[in-house]
Structure 1
Amino acid sequence: MFKTICVDHVGIACKDLDLSKKFYTEVLGLSCTGEEAVPEQGVKTVFIPCGETLLELLVDITENGDGPIGKYIAKNGQGIQHIAVRVDDVQAAIDTTIEKGAAMIDKAPRGGAGGMDIAFVHPKSVGILLEYCAPAKK
C-alpha cells in the first residue's frame, strides 16, 4: 500500500515557455524556481510555486515537435496536461494501481524533473493523465 501526501503540481502544456513564464511572473507576481530540460521526455520545464502546489510549465523540445507535449498541444491545444500527486512510494503506488485494475503507462518509476521518481496512470482509468511522484530514492 502507499500513502498519498498532497497534490504536488499541475502540468501545463505551453507553446512558448518564455511567454507563459512572463504571464505567471509579471501578471501574477509569482517566481520561477528554475528551468530544466528532460531530454528523455522531450520537454523543458519550469516550476512556479503557487501556494503549496507547484505549476509546472512544459514545452516540447524535440526536433520535430512530436514529443508527448508537442502531441498533446497538437491534439488539445495549450492547457492542463496532467496533475501530479506526491506519494510516499512510487513503486507501491504503481503496484496498488495495477492490483486494483487501473491501467498504468509506467510499470516502474522513471526519472523526472526536479530529482523526482515518477510514473503515470493512464487517462482511461482516471479521466486525466495522473502522475505519481516522490523524491528519487538514492
Structure 2
Amino acid sequence: MPGKFHCPKHRSQAVSSTSRPFKVLGVQQIAVGGLDKAKLRRFWVDTLGLTFSHSYTSEKENVDEDICEAGEGPLKVEVDLMQPIDPDKKPRVNEPALNHVGLWIDDLPAAVEWLTAQGVRFTPGGIRPGAAGHDITFIHPKGNEEFPIGSEGVLVELVQAPQEVIDAFATIARAG
C-alpha cells in the first residue's frame, strides 16, 4: 500500500508523545537462546546468580525454556534461557543468541492499534497469552511493503503490564 503512511522514515520525529495512547514502562524480559540450555543456566544462574523460576515448553514455538529472574517484586526482569526442541526446525530460538527483548506496556490493545496505524509490522498471532501468563504480541524485526516499520533486526515482545507493575513504575516516576 504505497502512500498509506506519511514519511515513515521520519515518523518518530512527527509523532508527539502526547498522541501516543500507551507507555513503555520498562524491560519485562530478555530472551537468550542456545543449543543447550544447561550451558545457559551454568552462566546465567550458577555464575551470575539469577534465580530459576520455572520451565516452559511449546512444540508450536519449538522452544524448551527455563525462566529465570533478576531482581524482586513487580520490577523484576525475566531472563528466558531457550533451546530449540528440534534444532532443525523453525523457529530457531537459538538464532540469534539474543532472541528478543520484552517491554512492559501499560495498554497493550491501544499500543497495537496505534502502532499498526503508524505502519508497524507485527508477527502473526496477534495478542495472546504468553509463557508468563501475561498477554503479549511481537513486533517483526523487519518491515515490509504494507507495514514498513519493523524493529530493525531485533524481535520485540510487547507485554501487557499487570496493575502492580503499572503502579510500581508510577511510584518510581513520582519519586524521581
TM-score range, shorter chain: 0.7 to 0.9
Is residue 2:158 matched to residue 1:132?
yes
CA contact (8 A) 1:85 1:130 kept: yes
CA contact (8 A) 1:106 1:121 kept: no
1:91 corresponds to: 109
**Count of residue correspondences:** 130
3-state SS of 1:97 partner = helix
Is residue 2:92 matched to residue 1:69?
yes
1:56 corresponds to: 80
Q: Deviations over 1:52-107 (max 9, x none)?
A: 32211111114x6313135x52xx4xx21111101123222211111111211146
* 1:38 pairs with one of 52, 58, 67: 58
Q: Determine what percentage of the aligned residue pairs are the same residue.
A: 24
Q: TM-score, normalised by structure 1?
A: 0.81
Task: Decide which structure has greater strand share.
Answer: 1
Q: TM-score, normalised by structure 2?
A: 0.65
* Matched ranges for 1:95-114 at <5 A: 95-106=113-124, 108-114=126-132
3-state SS of 2:135 partner = strand
In structure 1, list runs of 5 or more residues that go unmatched. Answer: none
Deviation at 1:120, TM superposition (A): 0.8
* 2:36 pairs with one of 7, 12, 16: 16
Deviation at 1:29, TM superposition (A): 2.0
CA contact (8 A) 1:85 1:132 kept: yes
Q: Which stretches of structure 1, 4 residues or longer, exceed 4 Å deviation after superposition?
A: none
* Bigger CA radius of gyration: 2
Equivalent AA in structure 2 for residue 61 of structure 1: I
Alpha-carbon distance between aligned partners in 2 of 1:9 and 1:46, rounded to the nearest angstrom: 12
